[in-house]
Amino acid sequence: MRDIKVRYLAAAMAALLGWGGSVAHDAAAQKIVCWKDKSGKTVGCGDKVPPEYQDNATRELDKRGVTRKTTESAEEQAKRKAKEKEAEKNKAELAKKAAEQKRQDSALINTYSNEKEIDLRRDRDLATIDGQIAQMKGLLKNAIDREKESQGRVDAAKKTGKPATDAQKEDLARAEADKRKAEQSVADKEKEREEKRKYYAGQKARYIELRGGPSPTAAAVPAKK
């Protein structure tokens, strides 16, 4: 319905502009431009767009009211360019990720001869971390013992009806802080161990995928967890 109205308006404008064939040779006079408001509704037609509608979308019609050309509004153009820019950015990021994955895959294939070598390196790394955890747990035990001793001295002072001395309170506070620090160190290292295990599991799975399946000798040996 809107197109019919626009064509009717264009035809009427053509008649007003003297489109009866006498000016058919004038290309500039062979068109009518219809302009839209911000909502996209056609609000007028003429030989040129009024200044207040210069940034809006337009339709260029011939003397029969047939659309020959359209233009975007400034807002539509800005949105389209923003989408194009975002698409280019995403494309570049995907290309970068693909290149990095290719580099990692190449390094993985060139580093190991078979997946069993991945298991061996994993076991070495986990053994190192296990040793560090054992050492940290020893420090944690010492911190717990010191806290108990400090707490015992504070409790003994209270039983005599005397308040704990400032030195005893400070000693207990240090012991408690040392215990919390040791506990956090153990937790962090155990988390590192789990992340390392998952890392090598991923490396092994990717290696097998790149090689097209597990090697016969490696497949016969169960992997450690």
Query: How is the chain split into domains, by residue range?
Result: 2-74, 98-219
pLDDT of residue 217: 60
* Terminal Cα distance for the chain, rounded: 72
Q: What is the mean pLDDT of residues 147-165?
A: 91
Average pLDDT across the chain, whole number: 85
In percent, how much of the chain has pLDDT > 90?
A: 55
Least confident of 24-33, 133-142, 202-211: 24-33
Q: How far apart are CA 110 and CA 199, in angstroms?
A: 18
**Per-residue pLDDT for 72 more than 60?**
yes
75 in Cβ contact with 66 (< 8 Å): no
More confident of the two residues 16 and 64: 64
Tokens of 62: 């011939």
**Entry field: residues in the chain:** 225
pLDDT at 76: 85
Is 50 exceeded by the pLDDT of residue 24?
no
Residue carrying structure tokens 């009427």: 12
Decide: 204 and 123 in contact? Cβ < 8 Å.
no
